[in-house]
Structure 1
């Protein structure tokens, strides 16, 4: 079955790619439905849809699949698609998302049956939830045991009698499996915050690019119109109607599926928010923005219910919003899904749904669930426990202080002693256990690369299909024509308990074939006519603004430290290593910027000791090292992932990875060579130049970008002023080598010599590095830019608040904290001291003012724009 392709091709006569695929593809395991051949027999021919797929590969046929697989992995990596299996405060890079090359192909008749069954089930679930938070007639009539509702930790008594009217479940996900007989069965259902809607979009984009001819020719149904219907439904259901502000609530960048949250928010045109971005005032939900508080009318939540409101639910939650449930009860904000749906996810509920469907809809369920027994009923327990060897043992409830929980267990993998132990546990705590019949999952063809054997091969892998029903109006849903297939990581997986992305599983695109014309609607930007374009200002949350501000600061700080470290290493190994003023200045500046500990002897005292200490610190865990600045830059960028171009984000990630990878090559060696360290720093400098280019040329000039720019230039102002201040104190500017070193650190050597030839006058240095407002590395240019950006930011904020929040002078107060370059006079700044060897005291005073300004501005900006502690929030309606 897994024999390498090279040995199978020899002597094979195959006129078409489909015939070749049939010849080399392994059959599904015994007892599993074979998606490729349409049955459980090992000698069947390829089904028509799969045969057509392979025949549409083109002239290269299967010979090109290794290249397509390599392209697919490169695309996933370049697009930064990740799944954080173990998100540990961001210190470890997340792993790339895993997607198989071949899609799962579903014919129109199969999909029609799935679609009808899913729509029926979501209707039942919505009605059940409405009853449980309403009159609870289903409990009174005995159709549902109270222990599965009131005993479930996901049932929110805080919402009893207060759920909104209309649709409660705007998104529901169903995990389906195809049995050996070819029929589809429901394995589980997700209603709290179903994941996958973003990942399946990326899967579709990636796989359709690898097989463009097959995708077009096979009339694969598109996804965009269903997503558009969901957004429009959320708006119509919200208190503000079509003008509603809908946001996507995420736990944040440390969540394992954060990439999906950012991707989905950008695709749907929603504002991505964390709990700290929101606040409740007078039972209404508001978004903290740079322009004050903006009303939020709807939340598409990706946070589990128990974390939504620390006032009423988990008091230790930092992911939710205090008072959110009260705002929902007051009818002032729509939550999708409505809070309190978690009890519907219990596997035990599957066994009661057929009777509930008959009672609520007067219909039999057309899409059955796997036989499921809740052990809290004596008859069900007595019937199921003897069948344990053929079942999956599942927890009835999620982990909570009131219920033990456990990972699902396959009874077939237990020895008799293990089954006896589980039987005892079930008898003791019966309500916490649910048994579900184990189903051999159908198997799809996957392309397995094997370069060592001369090529890849087609191997079957077990698959579970997740499909989504989304609301498209009051009490109405549609099924997304596709889904996310989850594939077992190896050939040994036989049951649904093994299908997990956290256990090394993969995913696959799902192609639903249209019976007629394909809907070509899109949510991507189009060239609309100017008269119908409505521009909506993109909101910048205070949290996003803070991330952007620090992204700018860490980028500039990393650039400064890289340039300084390169200058130190070059000077210590160049012709100027005997210049005592230069060495004194470099030592002081390196210590001041955290590149070397103050306990290390200066470069003048022990040049090699100083050099080795600096190199060792570059990639250390110290807060000011180059490596830590690159890491902090990546973490700040992760918080605003949805605002960055993909190339920008990829460069930020690669800069950190490349830096640490290069230094890791020296691990264990006694010392580093300065020439090798310089190569690493040069590579880092190139990456940072690309990052700076992305920030300059690839970002919209909104308030978020202004704060990023302000952050960069606050850092630059403080760094350059401090460096020049130390150069004056150590006398480096009066020494030829020190003079050139200062020019190099300010990245102004070429400009200086072009304008002033070979002069070494301090006045010329001050003119270019302090006064000149055309030199982007001068203090005058930086100060002038900061004053302008701060003033503009204040104007925009005042305009966004209707101009009533504060007088213009107060709003522009931050710009006044930066020294006014109009008052800088070269003749004043360069007056000689009494002995003719020192610069004017006014210059030292100005440099100190610049340093103090950079320090104080950071605190003032945080108070005014991030924490809003400078004044009472204003509310913009």
Structure 2
């Protein structure tokens, strides 16, 4: 940014801009100088904050939170799909001048290149070990050193595709590296989401600041991944391997997959056949050439690594050794994340690069060396103790926060196993301004930068992911992204960036037209449709029951028994009203539980939770509008929980209106906006199948039992009301409430989109569109025979005969039999579809458990 631009922006407000917080003790202040005036790059930001004022900043903060929530930006998703943790973002960006950034960028490129050389040496020549530059205990005792990867094939000069570094500034403002991320570096997707949000809530400031864009970095990622498989094919199939929907960074994995245009797959979606990796999809097996993984080394292959893993692909390591699939980053890179490496990095740089290390690391001491151990034990109170072998259970120990007793315990731990510990000097880190509860405060910050290999070496993202602690007393854990909020990182340029020239891919038209989806995705969309329909039908019937029970007209016990019994039958939450007649006169507690008890199978809340869980599994398939509606649905669920906290509220049906509206919005959006691909098709098959099953069940449970004329009319009108057909019925038949007339509208009227025949006919059309197996079959397939038989049974039914009461049983036996037959055929249909199109392959079975001990 030029000085004239800064002066122009700063001149917008002539009020003095001084630091609103006191100078930090022994720490560098990112935004303000020693005189408490904004540093030059920060002046436009501080001016903008001052201009907006408390109200304006708070408004933009809330707007940013809404955008993040609507985008589905989460971190550390809990098992409850109703309350995901929304990604935390501070809207005040961190800024750095381009001239300072270029120096840092050069050092980051050198560091990425150095770690690439270290990886290739440790899994190749092992010169560092032979020459004594790196103690062999650090490598051979490390569980992240995978001997199976020794001599691994690399498709290019660069083996390490991605590299991330955690940085802090020391008291003088110099950047210091505190750790490196090489297995599956996370955060780049969050950095892109942060940039998108901040540029939307502070558009003028972002536009005028001439901030360097991030698009070029992600374009380089695409080009690099495509080039990795250039020896295998001209049009490689690239997938993003995720641990699953409940991975803490699942949003980022789905976000990057969508942004880069790659399928998001889990270990179960891939299989090894004939020395190659294949993706299992509706169209059969599709070969995979490149895997961008977000699964840690040890969990990637059950055959050679951790046998108890459920996240990997058995045989993957052997395929990678043969060069038939490229994994980025390659397996075995977890070894490079050990903090013990930092103690020897300057010597390693001289050995492998013959040049000094440009980016200094935090001073580190490996306790496996006697000299280092003696220093650590004598200066324990001012050091940070880290495990040399990273794991979830082992955390850093900040010794300056401990008393003498705790220090003694730490000293004993180190002496018991010195090789397993590393000590580092404590650097408080710089502070940066954040917007918190309507005021600007100072918080410690850390920066994660990202590099990707390219033809000339490495490309560094012009920015990164800044994170700040929630208070000055807290430390930021660099291993993961929890326990802190994030900030966008702006690199201010002195020139306007030109648009990036995006090369056109020579993608074969056949591949461009067919989106091959993993079977797992299709199955989740199928069940998403089914759970949505279950919840909607239950909600509609529940609202109808509330209106009838609380209406001005008398609602006799016979009518009450039928409708309440139907509620238990439709929800499947039995015995309920069916086998507990005492509940008929006091139904409130049972009805409240069927609405709001999420632990009760078949309740409305339970179905909605399952629907949202399916949505989380296929987050990458959902449009922005769908995510917004799902968030509104979560809000309505929480509102219902509050309304039902003390049992049934005064006007219970009104509390359910928001849920019904949200479900209708999802259905309408999918119908009007989704492309008619296999994802839409299976969601519709699930929805139509469930609606047909529930409609048949509703007719069977409400109309098969004959009632006196008044009660029969009440029940029939209640059924019609629950499916939004009462007004149409009255217009067509006026006040003649005969059961056969109701069956005409609900069973065989093709103009009624909620009739039984409409659902079955739609299913017939969808089955024609599904991919068929290559095996030659004689005649119609089983699923087509079932659907045609159901269609014929409904069409050939004599409605007057169905409405007749059988003398011996005093029931409408023909109606009961027909609906039972249709239900059975539809359930068989769902089983066939599941067996034919969904993946139910059991995971690999362990012959030997990894944790067994030898008792010899």
- Aligned mates of 1:406, 1:825 — CA distance in 2: 67
Which of 830, 839, 855 matches 1:867?
839
The offset of 1:341, in angstroms, is 0.5
The offset of 1:390, in angstroms, is 2.6
- Aligned mates of 2:462, 2:804 — CA distance in 1: 84
The offset of 1:386, in angstroms, is 2.3
Is the aligned partner of 1:554 residue 2:527? no
The alpha-carbon distance between structure 1 residues 788 and 413, as it changes in their structure 2 partners (threshold 3 A), is: same
- Aligned mates of 1:530, 1:341 — CA distance in 2: 32
Q: Which residue of 2 aligns with 1:708?
A: 683
The offset of 1:599, in angstroms, is 5.4
The offset of 1:773, in angstroms, is 1.3
The offset of 1:201, in angstroms, is 0.7
Matches within 5 A, 1:779-798: 779-793=756-770, 797-798=771-772
Q: Any gaps of 5 or more consecutive residues in structure 1?
A: 1-13, 450-455, 871-877
Matches within 5 A, 1:844-859: 844-859=816-831
Q: Which residue of 2 aligns with 1:80?
A: 72
- Aligned mates of 2:558, 2:372 — CA distance in 1: 87
The offset of 1:714, in angstroms, is 0.9
Which of 269, 272, 281 matches 1:277?
269
- Aligned mates of 2:380, 2:805 — CA distance in 1: 96
Q: Which residue of 1 aligns with 2:138?
A: 148
Which of 771, 789, 803 matches 1:819?
789
> Cα deviation per residue 1:220-274 (whole Å; 9 max; x = unaligned)?
1111121111121111112544411111111111111111111111111110111
The alpha-carbon distance between structure 1 residues 530 and 424, as it changes in their structure 2 partners (threshold 3 A), is: closer
The alpha-carbon distance between structure 1 residues 191 and 21, as it changes in their structure 2 partners (threshold 3 A), is: farther
- Aligned mates of 1:66, 1:110 — CA distance in 2: 31
Which of 122, 129, 134 matches 2:119?
129
Q: Which residue of 1 aligns with 2:461?
A: 480
Q: Is the 8 A contact 1:488 1:500 kept in 2?
A: no
Which of 630, 635, 644 matches 2:622?
644
Q: Which residue of 1 aligns with 2:637?
A: 659
Which stretch has the larger CA shift, 597-606 or 456-465? 597-606
The alpha-carbon distance between structure 1 residues 808 and 468, as it changes in their structure 2 partners (threshold 3 A), is: farther
The alpha-carbon distance between structure 1 residues 92 and 658, as it changes in their structure 2 partners (threshold 3 A), is: closer
Which of 700, 717, 721 matches 2:696?
721
Q: Is the 8 A contact 2:576 2:590 kept in 1?
A: no
Q: Which residue of 2 aligns with 1:748?
A: 725
Q: Is the 8 A contact 1:193 1:302 kept in 2?
A: yes
The alpha-carbon distance between structure 1 residues 15 and 297, as it changes in their structure 2 partners (threshold 3 A), is: closer
The alpha-carbon distance between structure 1 residues 614 and 824, as it changes in their structure 2 partners (threshold 3 A), is: closer
The alpha-carbon distance between structure 1 residues 858 and 832, as it changes in their structure 2 partners (threshold 3 A), is: closer
Q: Is the 8 A contact 1:222 1:519 kept in 2?
A: no
Which stretch has the larger CA shift, 360-369 or 512-521? 512-521
- Aligned mates of 1:458, 1:832 — CA distance in 2: 73
**Secondary structure at 1:55 match in 2:** helix
- Aligned mates of 1:397, 1:756 — CA distance in 2: 77
> Cα deviation per residue 1:588-622 (whole Å; 9 max; x = unaligned)?
31221237642547798654322432223321111
The alpha-carbon distance between structure 1 residues 315 and 529, as it changes in their structure 2 partners (threshold 3 A), is: closer
Q: Which residue of 2 aligns with 1:492?
A: 473
The alpha-carbon distance between structure 1 residues 135 and 18, as it changes in their structure 2 partners (threshold 3 A), is: farther
The offset of 1:498, in angstroms, is 8.3
Normalised to the residue count of structure 1, the TM-score between the two structures is 0.88
- Aligned mates of 1:254, 1:260 — CA distance in 2: 12
Q: Which residue of 2 aligns with 1:396?
A: 388
- Aligned mates of 2:786, 2:16 — CA distance in 1: 72
- Aligned mates of 1:600, 1:706 — CA distance in 2: 36
**Secondary structure at 1:185 match in 2:** strand
The alpha-carbon distance between structure 1 residues 581 and 809, as it changes in their structure 2 partners (threshold 3 A), is: farther
Is the aligned partner of 1:545 residue 2:527? no
Q: Which residue of 1 aligns with 2:585?
A: 608
Q: Which residue of 1 aligns with 2:648?
A: 672
- Aligned mates of 1:749, 1:225 — CA distance in 2: 58
Is the aligned partner of 1:30 residue 2:21? no
Q: Which residue of 2 aligns with 1:7?
A: none
**Secondary structure at 1:23 match in 2:** coil
> Cα deviation per residue 1:751-775 (whole Å; 9 max; x = unaligned)?
2222222222333222221111121
Which of 289, 292, 303 matches 1:300?
292
- Aligned mates of 1:866, 1:23 — CA distance in 2: 62
**Secondary structure at 2:516 match in 1:** coil
- Aligned mates of 1:827, 1:440 — CA distance in 2: 80
- Aligned mates of 1:809, 1:314 — CA distance in 2: 47
Which stretch has the larger CA shift, 581-590 or 27-36? 581-590
Which stretch has the larger CA shift, 550-559 or 344-353? 344-353
- Aligned mates of 1:788, 1:283 — CA distance in 2: 39
Which of 563, 568, 573 matches 1:586?
563
Q: Which residue of 2 aligns with 1:257?
A: 249
CA RMSD of aligned residues (A): 3.0
Q: Is the 8 A contact 1:347 1:434 kept in 2?
A: yes
Is the aligned partner of 1:117 residue 2:107? yes
The alpha-carbon distance between structure 1 residues 114 and 18, as it changes in their structure 2 partners (threshold 3 A), is: farther
Q: Is the 8 A contact 2:258 2:620 kept in 1?
A: yes
- Aligned mates of 1:590, 1:609 — CA distance in 2: 15
Q: Any gaps of 5 or more consecutive residues in structure 2?
A: 1-8, 843-856
Q: Which residue of 2 aligns with 1:51?
A: 43
Which stretch has the larger CA shift, 438-447 or 627-636? 438-447
Which of 612, 626, 636 matches 2:604?
626
The offset of 1:811, in angstroms, is 5.6
- Aligned mates of 1:825, 1:98 — CA distance in 2: 57
- Aligned mates of 1:341, 1:520 — CA distance in 2: 35
Which of 485, 494, 502 matches 1:506?
485
- Aligned mates of 1:537, 1:856 — CA distance in 2: 29
- Aligned mates of 1:500, 1:308 — CA distance in 2: 20
Aligned length: 827
- Aligned mates of 2:44, 2:10 — CA distance in 1: 14
Q: Which residue of 1 aligns with 2:743?
A: 766
Q: Is the 8 A contact 1:441 1:496 kept in 2?
A: no
Q: Which residue of 2 aligns with 1:683?
A: 658
Q: Which residue of 1 aligns with 2:852?
A: none
The offset of 1:823, in angstroms, is 6.2
Q: Is the 8 A contact 2:60 2:201 kept in 1?
A: yes
The alpha-carbon distance between structure 1 residues 249 and 534, as it changes in their structure 2 partners (threshold 3 A), is: closer
> Cα deviation per residue 1:433-474 (whole Å; 9 max; x = unaligned)?
11111112111111222xxxxxx332221111100011223x
- Aligned mates of 2:464, 2:357 — CA distance in 1: 21
> Cα deviation per residue 1:164-214 (whole Å; 9 max; x = unaligned)?
343221111100111111211111000011110111111001111122222
The alpha-carbon distance between structure 1 residues 653 and 529, as it changes in their structure 2 partners (threshold 3 A), is: same
Which of 415, 418, 424 matches 1:430?
418
Which of 220, 223, 226 matches 1:232?
223
The offset of 1:854, in angstroms, is 2.2
Q: Is the 8 A contact 2:129 2:136 kept in 1?
A: yes
The offset of 1:28, in angstroms, is 3.4
Q: Which residue of 2 aligns with 1:409?
A: 397
The alpha-carbon distance between structure 1 residues 604 and 463, as it changes in their structure 2 partners (threshold 3 A), is: closer
Is the aligned partner of 1:470 residue 2:452? yes
The offset of 1:99, in angstroms, is 0.9
The alpha-carbon distance between structure 1 residues 427 and 534, as it changes in their structure 2 partners (threshold 3 A), is: closer
Q: Is the 8 A contact 1:581 1:738 kept in 2?
A: no
- Aligned mates of 1:591, 1:721 — CA distance in 2: 15
Q: Which residue of 2 aligns with 1:419?
A: 407
- Aligned mates of 2:584, 2:189 — CA distance in 1: 55
Q: Which residue of 1 aligns with 2:845?
A: none
> Cα deviation per residue 1:639-690 (whole Å; 9 max; x = unaligned)?
11111112312322432443244333443x3x424x4321222222122112
**Secondary structure at 2:89 match in 1:** coil
Q: Is the 8 A contact 2:168 2:429 kept in 1?
A: yes
> Cα deviation per residue 1:529-555 (whole Å; 9 max; x = unaligned)?
999999442222100001000000000
The offset of 1:137, in angstroms, is 1.9
The alpha-carbon distance between structure 1 residues 733 and 642, as it changes in their structure 2 partners (threshold 3 A), is: farther
> Cα deviation per residue 1:322-347 (whole Å; 9 max; x = unaligned)?
11111111211111100001110011
